[in-house]
Amino acid sequence: MPSILFVSSDHGRVAYARTIFAEEYPDILPMHTPPDSDGSDITAAVMEHGIEVVIGRGAIHSRVKRLDLPVTALEAPVTALDTLHALRIAKIHGSRVAAVASRSVITGVHELSELLGIDLRVYLMDGGRDPRPLVEKAIEDGADAIIGGYMATSIAEEMGHPNALVSNHEEGLRQAAREATEIVTAVREEKRRSGLIRTLIDHTSDGIVAVDAAGKIIVFNPVAASITGVANALGTLADKTLPVLKLMKTLESGKEDLGGIFRINGIDVICQRVPVTVDGKVVAAVATFQDVRRLQQMEARVRRRIYDSGHAATATFDTLLGKSPAQMRTAAQAKEFALTDSTVLLLGETGTGKELLAQSIHNYSSRKKGPFVAINCAALPGQLLESELFGYEGGAFTGANPKGKPGMFELAHGGTLLLDEVGEMDIHIQGKLLRVLEERKIMRLGSDKLLPINVRLITATNSNLRELIRKSAFRADLYYRLNVLRLQAPPLRERREDIPLLAAHFLDIFSAEGKSPPKLAPDAESALQEYHWPGNVRELRNLMERVAALHKRGTIDASTVMGLLADEHAELTPPEYDEDLAKIYAALAECGGNHTRAAKLLGMSRITLWRRLKQKQGRNASE
């Protein structure tokens, strides 16, 4: 379907153009129009074919512009060769030549006439001026020949006067075709962009209102209409229709106003107002606004999705149980660390609750609304850990998800990432982790693009990292990057005051729903406090789970607790198993936790029993 119309009153030129355009420019439709046409034929062709550009010259070009059609009017260029050809023909009839034409047709004619020794006079017919009086005047002034466009030369021919048509030759026609094609391409691209912008404006979740420099509303999308309750504000003055937006103030000040909250039509909205500046001058202003309730609903959905995916921290400092000095010191120091954004290294024996500390730090920090993502570095082999941390592109390796997968760093963007048991991380991955910490960017496996990340890193380990460095199993440079803020989680034997509270808490968790949990007798609590707890809080939790499973109600005495502990020690294998310690626990279990009776049963004094118990517990705790 043609998109360009070439119009001329010269049948010969139309036929010539059809020959030139046929193969290379099939989108151009050559058309003849009578010299005295009112333009209705051109209008009909434009509407019928969906024409976007009309090529004409002189009077026809002026006629097209007066028609005010939804097209681009392009004047066919006249080349020096076209003018030179007409001047040479005119000179055959004499040296006095009159040019009756528009400015575009006679461009460069003076220079060419001087070269040819021609006495030239110009009679301009710009603006669609009738050429007949001009041709008559030129003949009256003694012109030997007339040059110009089709209408002027046709009148001269009618009057029997020599004339030469300034006609477009091949190069001029091709130049016009190229320019018209470029215009069509540009117009279509502009329509595409305008359509895209219109779609974005009409279907965005924001209300959008824009005004011109006079404060008149030029953009008013459906969401704006819905929120404001105004059916059609286009063309009205914003200060009268929507004074609450204060867009005239933005036009006058030229300053942004971001994040303002106000009430409109009974709805609380958050609004952004920005000026539009061109060449240092404010030419428009735009206001975008959203219903606060919708933002709250969206945030709730995002939070729900994060919790459903497990990327959330549930522990807080308020939920950490324990009032012992060691626990209180640790919590106080952790709160101070939470107020910074620095990397934290959590140290402590297995089962001391390092992840709960990490979650509490996250929930006490400025990142508490962001995700909390945790991964155990010892639970995955090297390559799998690498893909889990940094993600991968589709097809990055055999068995990879064809859609790719975001890594833990991406999932933790805007929040906190916990790397548990970081001492078990492969040395190769340690190097990549160091690079991430230095550049704050990650690269997925199989990709060459760097993705910026905003993540607070917490690492945890029960290993001696300095010893691992000495064995070349851990990078020293990474250790220094991780060891910015160091926090030691105290073992349970250093917070014995908390054991009764923790035990009661675990019994309550593991008891049958709707039933009262069993209680620990005072001697049972004492027995638990004297145990050395190599597995720390995790071991205590497991023991209480067994107690709740085996004893549904009533009071649990020391003999029951110590019996379960003795059973556990009987299952241990060297070097964890300590025969002397096991005998002591067995005696305590038999004597109901009574140290005096247990010492007598073992054939030693109570002081000796107490000293050996302390020595054994201290030695095992350090192993």
Encode pLDDT of 91-103 as tens digits.
999 999 999 988 7
Pick the CATH number of 325-488 from 3.40.50.10090, 3.40.50.40, 3.40.50.300, 3.90.1200.10: 3.40.50.300
**246 against 570, higher pLDDT:** 246
> Backbone phi, then psi, for 502, in 5-degree steps?
-65, -45
| The predicted structure's pLDDT at residue 573 | 42
Q: Could you please report the per-residue DSSP string of 596-621?
A: HHHHHHHTS-HHHHHHHHHHHHHHHH
What three-state secondary structure class fits 125?
Answer: coil
| The predicted structure's pLDDT at residue 556 | 87
**Could you read off the pLDDT of 113-136 as tens digits, one per residue?**
888 899 999 998 876 677 899 999
**204 against 210, higher pLDDT:** 210
Taking only Cα atoms into account, the Rg of the chain, rounded to an integer number of angstroms, comes to 45
| The predicted structure's pLDDT at residue 574 | 43
Distance from C-alpha of 134 to C-alpha of 101, rounded to nearest angstrom: 9
Neighbours of 605 (CB within 10 A): 12
| The predicted structure's pLDDT at residue 145 | 95
Distance from C-alpha of 151 to C-alpha of 130, rounded to nearest angstrom: 9
* Per-residue H/E/C for 93-117: CCCEEEEEECCCCCCCHHHHHHHHC
**Is residue 438 exposed (0-12), middle (13-18) or buried (19+ Cβ within 10 Å)?**
exposed
Could you tell me the pLDDT band of residue 104, with boundaries at 50, 70 and 90?
confident
Q: Which long-range contacts (CB under 8 A, 24 or more apart) does 467-472 make?
A: 468/423
pLDDT over 80 at 572, yes or no: no
**386 against 335, higher pLDDT:** 335
In this predicted structure, which of 257-266, 359-368, 429-438 has the lowest mean pLDDT?
257-266
In terms of Cα–Cα distance, which of 73, 47, 49, 69 is closest to 60? Answer: 73
Could you tell me the pLDDT band of residue 548, with boundaries at 50, 70 and 90?
confident
In this predicted structure, which of 203-207, 222-226, 365-369 has the lowest mean pLDDT?
203-207
| The predicted structure's pLDDT at residue 575 | 43
Helix crossing, 80-91 with 109-116: angle to 10°? 40
Count CA atoms within 13 Å of residue 392 on its CB side: 17
Chain-centre distance of CA 546, in angstroms?
A: 50
| The predicted structure's pLDDT at residue 305 | 56
Q: Give the architecture-level CATH label for domain 498-622.
A: Orthogonal Bundle (1.10)
| The predicted structure's pLDDT at residue 565 | 78
| The predicted structure's pLDDT at residue 260 | 78
Pick the CATH number of 80-167 from 3.40.50.10660, 3.40.50.300, 3.40.50.720, 3.40.50.11540: 3.40.50.10660
Average pLDDT along the chain: 85
**Could you read off the pLDDT of 283-314 as tens digits, one per residue?**
999 999 988 777 666 655 554 454 445 677 88
Mean pLDDT of 328-350: 94
Pick the CATH number of 205-293 from 1.10.3720.10, 3.30.450.20, 3.40.50.1100, 3.10.20.740: 3.30.450.20
The reply to whether 80-167 shares the fold of 4-77+173-184 is: yes
Q: Could you please report the per-residue DSSP string of 384-427?
A: HHHHHHH-B-TTSSTT--TT-B--HHHHTTTSEEEEETGGGS-H
**552 against 418, higher pLDDT:** 418
**Could you read off the pLDDT of 432-483 as tens digits, one per residue?**
999 999 999 998 888 888 888 889 999 999 999 999 999 999 999 999 999 9
Could you tell me the pLDDT band of residue 357, with boundaries at 50, 70 and 90?
very high
CB contact at 8 A, 168 and 78 = yes
| The predicted structure's pLDDT at residue 622 | 42
Could you tell me the pLDDT band of residue 168, with boundaries at 50, 70 and 90?
confident
Question: What residue type is assigned to position 39 of the chain?
Answer: G
| The predicted structure's pLDDT at residue 57 | 81
CB contact at 8 A, 347 and 489 = yes
- Please state the domain extents for the chain: 4-77+173-184, 80-167, 205-293, 325-488, 498-622
Place of tokens 């963007």: 413
In terms of Cα–Cα distance, which of 152, 128, 149 is closest to 138? Answer: 152
| The predicted structure's pLDDT at residue 144 | 94
The pTM assigned to this predicted structure is: 0.48
pLDDT over 90 at 264, yes or no: no
| The predicted structure's pLDDT at residue 464 | 93
**Could you read off the pLDDT of 142-152 as tens digits, one per residue?**
999 999 888 88
pLDDT over 60 at 529, yes or no: yes
Name the range with the highest mean pLDDT among 303-317, 564-578, 608-622: 303-317
| The predicted structure's pLDDT at residue 602 | 78
Provide the strand spans (E) within 160-311. 163-165, 207-212, 217-220, 257-264, 267-278, 281-291
**Could you read off the pLDDT of 14-45 as tens digits, one per residue?**
998 999 898 889 999 999 999 888 899 999 99
Class of 4-77+173-184 in CATH: alpha beta
Distance from C-alpha of 97 to C-alpha of 483, rounded to nearest angstrom: 94
| The predicted structure's pLDDT at residue 623 | 40
